[in-house]
Structures are given as structure tokens and as C-alpha cells.
Structure 1
Amino acid sequence: MSTDDSPILDVDALQQQGISAQDIAKLRTAGYATVLGVVQATRKCLTKVKGLSEIKVDKIKTAANTLCPQTFLTGAECALRREKVIFISTGSASLDALLGGGVQTGSITEVYGEFRTGKTQLSHTLCVTSQLPVDMGGGEGKVAFIDTEGTFRPDRVKSIAERFGVDPQAALENVVVARAHNSEHQMELITALAAKFAEEQGAYRLLIVDSILALFRIDYAGRGELSDRQQKLNQMLSRLTRISEEFQCAIFLTNQVQSSPDASAMFAGGDKKPAHASATRVYLRKGRGEERVAKLADSPDMPEGEATYKITVGGIMDA
């Protein structure tokens, strides 16, 4: 286990251990932009990289482990790491309290619920709060937004930015958005972001995917394709987990609950992949009138509980 104080080593550093520039280029093309990314990958995954034999992979793994050794830490050292976690405000004090301070860096937070419960509005609010100073509940960093359903609205970011006293145009400049057109493209975008995060070390504080399963449900619609969908989804979620740890950024996923037993199986007891990958899971539902209710379904830090909030022009706020 590496420490948070360690700099992010670009994959080019493998040259110091005798790995050729050509092989490093192959790793980068395959989405391995940092030494830690190589350490986290299995030998099986690396042998799938075009042009890398098992012998080469063994040398690469040895070199990566030498540069970025993964060892045991004491409980006290783990506590020091936890102190460096940044909590990004949701815009609602009650929802922040439910989450133990906000959306955490270094892990995955998933919100799921029906239409009009605030999933996308929460995503837009986080686009702004992530840019605020840490002492204001922010992350002092940029945001990457993967839009799978065409829901990103620049005007929402502007209005939310005005609420927090952030220059609207500057807020938009600090958010990079990509529209994913299918599940394969979604994975390609995630891989490309890993390279971007490596190039701009420490610049990005949050990666949003809104929504995580929408394109998989379209591309793998039949029951006979459920196994393939699970495999591809698991690979993507594993990649997101590695990115959160590799770059110490927060991963925020939204998910749509649907009436179809097949489509909503992740909540009904069948498809558990997003649930297993997410450290924190929050169920959103409609309350009375304009009130919305968030229920903490799973968290390594906080007990189950509920919080109320509302959706406003300025984003998510206390009800």
C-alpha cells in the first residue's frame, strides 16, 4: 500500500528499471498511464495488451513493484491516510451530515432512485462545490463529467455557481464533459480520463458518471446477454475503483431504478456489481411536496439514516 504523500509516477518512469520506450508506449495506449496503474493491474490483464508477452509482463510488473512497492501499513498509518480524505459538499448540510461530511475522495459514491429525485441535479451541484476551497466544503479541483443520457446542462452549472459566489464562466471552464454514445465508448472515455488525470496531477477532484448503467441496459438488452453485461460492467467498475485510488479523486455515480426486474436487478438482488464497487450507496426518493429524501443504504463510515433536501435554482439545498 503506497502513501498519499507519494507523487503520482508517470508510466515513463518504468524506463528507469530497463523497460523499453516501445513497451511503455503500448501500456499507455492500453490505458496504463501511471506506475500505480500497472501495479494494480493483474498479469492476465497486462498480457492482453497488444505486443506484450508473458515474459515482458513479468519484467514490467517487477519494475512497477520496485518503483511503487505495495506493503502493509500500521493502523496508525492508515489513520493518517484517512485524515487526508477530502469531503465535497452536496450543497445540503443535512445530506452532508448523513454522508459524514460529503462525497469522499478516494472512493466511489453511488446514488440511485426514480426520475426527478435529484440525481442529475446533485451531479450538477457537485460540479460547482468541487471547485470551492476546502474550508467551504469544496475540493479545490476540476471535475470530469461523463454524460450517458444527454443530461448535462451548462446553464445549471452557471446558476449553481452564482449561489456559491463562483464566477459562472470560470466554473464551466473547470468542468470537462464528454457524451458517451455506447457502453464501449463509455469505457474508452474512462480510460482516456485516467491518462488526463496523470498528465494534470492533482488537478481533478471528482469524476461523475451520469448514469452508470443506462448504456449497458441498451447495449445488452436481452436476458441472454446478461452475463456479458455483467462482465463488461464489472471491468468498468474495477477501472473506476482503481482511478479513485490512483488519483485520490471522488467517483460519483448515478443510477436509475426501473420497474423492469431485469433492468433494476442490482437493487432487487440479482446484479450486485455496482453495489459491491461502491463504498457509499444512497437511495433517493420523493417526499412530501417538493421535499426529497435520501436514505444511506451502505457506508463504511456512517450508520444507516435519512436526510431531507430540495432541488432549487441554486442546486441541492436543505429542505
Structure 2
Amino acid sequence: MLANSYDIWIEENKQPTIATLCKDLDQAIGKGISPGIITELCGPPGSGKTQICIQLCANVQIPTQLGGFGGKALYFDTNFGFHPHRLKEMATACTQHCRNIVETLRKDLSEDVEGFTAEIIMENVYYKYISDSSSLIEELDTLENLLKAGEKIKLVVVDSLSFLIKCNTENSLERLEVDYTILTKLHVLAYRYKLAVVITNDCTTRINPSNSTDSTVVPALGECHSHKINQRIVLGAINEEQPGIFIASIEKSLFRPRSSIKFRITEAGIRRVRKN
């Protein structure tokens, strides 16, 4: 039976999103990181990619009574970027954020957040180090079996997909084939099980073939890869005079036009830059 676009729109609007806890970023991409699609965080080292991924692992667990997913996260780490201590800091701040909301706006939900602790958040973030692309493909098949069995994973992170592919493929054709195989599997899981997929990508230098001295910094993995992702957020530091302040540029989105916003990386996690 065919579904009409209105019914699809209604169904999508019922789905919660994963808040980043940076209000400006959430608004720039809709309402937060959406389920059912692949979101790519792209940028050079130190631009905040892993920080946002860890933040999302905590935020995906915000109780449904507060508009969250109440789900679990699965973190595939290819470059040893994940740090449980950092997750603990963000998880602690996330639970306090939820308690503040309840105390000021929804005291009737106080019992619902009593068991929402940093320790519970950490227990609900599954971690797996991935050393090669074939291992990731196998793990995605295992993940599908877990989801079929009712596992409440609602966020899958691959950090970093570009590092994995570049380090384990010998030529561009093989790289493209592996990339498409992984992204296709992620697309199917995201759509079928209504979970959010977040991947990270590095930057590379593209040389102008007609002028060897002319170059631009672009996302790695190429143009064909760009067609397989649904949303791209390019991250970068602003300047040395504003440490801890970063910029997020929405370069591709299903929901919003191109835009750029500033955000902070604090001890508590990802937060907005307040205007003076």
C-alpha cells in the first residue's frame, strides 16, 4: 500500500530528535539530530566532531517525558577518540539540565527523572573499537540482529568513517565501494529502525588541476560520498583569540537552508554562545 506525503510528514513530526543542548545549532538543523537519516560532522582535528558525538550519546537518553528518545547509543571508534571521562562530565551536566527543567517547569515529572543518572547514561552507551572496514560491516549486521530483538539503540556513531576507509583501502575505486557498502547499511538501519546515524569525516586539500598553486580545503571521501549522506555540518575553530568558540556551518540539510552558527565547548558539553 502506498503512503501519501502528508501521512509521512505527520509520522516524521511525531518522532523526537536528539538535542545537542546548543539551542542555536538545534534550530539551524530543525529541532536537533533527526532519526532516519545520516548526519555527517566534518572538520579538521580539534574542531569539535568527537565532542558533539559524545554529547549526543548522553542526550539520546533524555527521557521521553521531556521530549527525548529515552534510547541507548552505540559508538564505533576507529581512532581512539572516545573518552569515558568526557562522557561522564557531559552525562552529569545532562542529568542536571533535565532536573532543572523539571524543577522549574514540570514538577509533575520529578519521579520520571529520579533514576536518570550519569552512571545510567554511561551504562547505556555501548562502545566498540573498529580497526578495519570489514569488521564494521560485520558489526552492522550484528547490530541489525540486536535491533530486531528489541534492543533500544537509537543512536549509532561512527567516529571517524574517513579514517577507517582511508587507512584500509588501497585505491579510490575500492574506497568508494567500501564507503557505499557501509553507508547503504547505515541508511537501511536508520530508516527501518528509526534511529539516528552520525558519522565523522576529515578534511583534505583539493588541488586545482589547471593551477597547481590553487587549492581548497574540502571534506574527505569525495563527491560521490557526499551524495550518500543526508545532512552535513562542517565544523571549525574561529580563531586563537576566542578559545573554546567554534563555528558550525550547515552545508547540506533536508530541513533547513544553509546557515552558520557559533557554539561553545565547555566542561559541561556543547552549549550556545550567548549574545551580549
**Length-normalised TM-score, structure 1:** 0.72
For residues 128 and 134 of structure 1, the distance between their equivalents in structure 2, rounded to whole angstroms, comes to 14
In structure 2, the partner of 1:215 is: 164
1:92 matched residue in structure 2: 22
Give the Cα separation in 2 of the matches to 1:214 and 1:275.
Answer: 16
Whether the 8 Å contact between 2:144 and 2:189 is mirrored in structure 1 is: yes
Distance in 2 separating the partners of 1:196 and 1:243? 11
Q: Residue type matched to 1:170 in 2?
A: I
User: Equivalents in 2 of 1:83, 1:268: separation in Å?
Assistant: 31
Q: CA RMSD in A?
A: 2.1
Q: Does the residue aligned with 1:293 lie in a helix, a strand or coil?
A: strand
Which of 140, 144, 153 aligns to 1:194? It is 144
Aligned-pair identity in percent equals 24
More contact order relative to length (CA 8 Å, sep ≥ 6): 2
Counterpart of 2:272 in structure 1 is 318
Q: Which residue of 1 aligns with 2:37?
A: 107
Segments of structure 1 that go 5 or more residues without pairing to the other structure are 1-70
Residue from 193, 196, 218 that aligns with 1:247 = 193
Which whole-Å CA distance do the structure 2 matches of 1:229 and 1:306 have between them? 30
In 1, Cα distance between equivalents of 2:73 and 2:249: 25
CA change 1:212–1:268 in 2 (3 A) is: closer
Query: Do the aligned residues in 2 keep the contact of 1:129 with 1:137 (CA within 8 Å)?
Result: no
Cα distance in structure 1, aligned partners of 2:92 and 2:160: 26
> Partner letter of residue 254 of structure 1?
T
Q: How far apart in 2 are the matches of 1:191 and 1:305?
A: 36
Counterpart of 1:161 in structure 2 is 91
Q: Which runs of 5+ in 2 are unaligned?
A: 96-115, 208-215
Which protein has the larger Cα radius of gyration, Structure 1 or Structure 2? Answer: 1
Taking structure 2 as the reference length, what is the TM-score of the superposition? 0.82
After TM superposition, list the pairs within 5 Å mapping 1:109-128 onto structure 2: 109-128=39-58
Aligned residues: 243
Aligned counterpart, 1:36: none
Q: Which whole-Å CA distance do the structure 2 matches of 1:271 and 1:257 have between them? A: 10
Which letter maps to 1:129?
N
- Displacement after TM superposition at 1:188 (Å): 1.3
Aligned mates of 2:200, 2:92 — CA distance in 1: 24
Distance in 2 of aligned mates of 1:307 and 1:275:
22
Aligned to 1:82: 12
The counterpart of 1:205, out of the listed 138, 145, 154, is 154
